Structure 1
Amino acid sequence: MKRFVLLDTVDIPNNGGALCLFEYGEDFVIKIQGGDGGQLMNTRMHGSEDALAEIPCKKVAHRPQPRVLIGGLGMGFTLASALKHLGDNATVLVAELVPGVIEWNRGPLGAKAGQPILDKRAEVRAIDVAKVLQAEPQGFDAIMLDVDNGPEGLTQKGNTWLYSMEGLNACHTALRPAGILAVWSASADRKFSEKVRKAGFKVEEVQVYAHGNKGTRHTIWIAEKT
């Protein structure tokens, strides 16, 4: 019988609590310490994380030396998907707020996604993605955000800025002409779609299965800078 085995606990900066890494049979699971027991992510269900990178990266892969930004390393599946759908001339910057998550991806957890952080095209920084957005105007052809459960900033209140008009305007400024913003969410949010449009994007709300072609579906906003 499979059971959850706690492997490590790491602090989230800015008094944001802690994340716990569990082994569950052949899979790994990340939860919030002291939460309701629900899983933030696991290595068995990552279809929507794959799609978060696949959709925008396919749109910009043809550009000369495309550069993309991923907010949130997680379990590495979005990074792996971005690298899969971009050519050798591309670079992928990952901004991960929690240094411990980066270390988890350097260990056995990283093997589940194929050790994407070892790819020469990838650069992983222990930094708040908001700081990267504010520091690099027109620095990216695509931006992929998966830093929380959705626009509410559930796991850390500081994430709420990313989904505000100020945060969306920062994303718009950080994108090159016709750049693509992709935002992951556990659920749909019609009001957020309107907010993205007001920030100067042409936006589409896409429903993607978390695993396979049935069961839970997640939402990805695909927004083109106009």
Structure 2
Amino acid sequence: MIPRELIDTAQVPGGVELRLYRRGDDFMIVLDRNELMNTRMRGSEEALATMTIDRLGARARPHLLIGGYGMGFTLRAALARLGRDAQVTVVELVPGILKWARGPMAALTAGCLDDPRVRLVEGDVGKRIEADKLSYDAILLDVDNGPDGLVRDANGKLYGMAGLAAARMALKPGGALAIWSAAPDAVFKRRLGDAGFAVEEVAVRARENGKGPRHVIWFATKR
């Protein structure tokens, strides 16, 4: 078996440390003993982009906000589906993740961060959402592990009533809030409805081939 090699570490605001490993051609981002993401399981992150864009239908100059770059699966899938008139704002909290994207994972990144449709913001996606009113056709959140936070306690604010209200205000009429989660959460699903969204819950396999763990995407349309 090919051994796992530690490539680098990165600090998350709030104190925890992420570790980037490589095993052969595969990369893994790890927190403590939890593997947050790896290059072998990208299906649900790609579905977050493609299924959201499909639900938006035909819109002139669509503007998407992606919260959390991660390994870039969602961004690359969005760019492949969107036209030339689209704009994608990507907000990433951890500078080290962007360093990895341009460094050891540059081949995987495939230049997506330099696409002219992409605006990259380093910072807290919650603050970006609060600042932008009626700005986005869709907000795609793949932050932490979903509503059940793992990486950073402050991420929980995104999934509370105040965070959902801010997201609703940041969306254009009929816009969609799409949220990735490692597992179902009936309480959070009800909260989305209480926050003024029409909610659809979809189970998606982690791997592109339809195998692997089941993840959840909530598509919450602004009423």
| TM-score bin, normalised by smaller chain | over 0.9
- Report Cα offsets for 1:138-187 as digits up to 9, x if no partner: 11000000011121222110000000011011110000000011000000
Q: Give 3-state SS (helix, strand or coil) of 2:20's partner.
A: strand
Name the counterpart of 1:138: 134
1-side partners of 2:109 and 2:98: how far apart? 13
Q: Give 3-state SS (helix, strand or coil) of 1:81's partner.
A: helix
Tell me if structure 2 keeps the 8 A contact 1:105–1:115: no
Alignment coverage as a number of residue pairs: 222
The equivalent position to 2:80 in structure 1, one of 80, 84, 87, is 84
2-side partners of 1:48 and 1:63: how far apart? 24
- Report Cα offsets for 1:40-94 as digits up to 9, x if no partner: 0001111000001111122336211110000000000100011111110000000
Aligned-residue Cα RMSD (Å) equals 1.1
Q: Which amino acid aligns with 2:183?
A: S
Name the counterpart of 2:8: 8
Tell me if structure 2 keeps the 8 A contact 1:182–1:220: yes
Name the counterpart of 2:56: 60
Tell me if structure 2 keeps the 8 A contact 1:96–1:127: yes
1-side partners of 2:161 and 2:26: how far apart? 37
Find out whether 1:29 has 2:35 as its counterpart: no
State TM-score, norm by structure 1. 0.95
Name the counterpart of 2:155: 159
2-side partners of 1:78 and 1:107: how far apart? 19
State TM-score, norm by structure 2. 0.96
2-side partners of 1:102 and 1:193: how far apart? 31
- Listed as ranges, the gaps of 5+ residues in structure 1 are none
Tell me if structure 2 keeps the 8 A contact 1:140–1:174: yes
Q: Which amino acid aligns with 1:12?
A: V
The equivalent position to 1:205 in structure 2, one of 177, 201, 204, is 201
Q: Give 3-state SS (helix, strand or coil) of 1:108's partner.
A: coil
Percent of residue pairs bearing the same amino acid type: 48
2-side partners of 1:115 and 1:219: how far apart? 28
2-side partners of 1:102 and 1:215: how far apart? 27
- Listed as ranges, the gaps of 5+ residues in structure 2 are none
1-side partners of 2:122 and 2:19: how far apart? 18
2-side partners of 1:91 and 1:65: how far apart? 7
1-side partners of 2:5 and 2:119: how far apart? 30
1-side partners of 2:45 and 2:109: how far apart? 11
Q: Give 3-state SS (helix, strand or coil) of 1:169's partner.
A: helix
Question: What is the CA distance between 1:213 and its match in structure 2?
Answer: 1.3
Q: Which amino acid aligns with 1:56?
A: T
Q: Which amino acid aligns with 1:52?
A: L
Tell me if structure 1 keeps the 8 A contact 2:102–2:109: no
Tell me if structure 1 keeps the 8 A contact 2:67–2:125: yes
Give 4+ residue runs of structure 1 displaced > 6 Å after superposition. none
- Report Cα offsets for 1:101-138 as digits up to 9, x if no partner: 01111123132243311211111111100111011001
Q: Give 3-state SS (helix, strand or coil) of 1:41's partner.
A: strand
2-side partners of 1:61 and 1:21: how far apart? 37
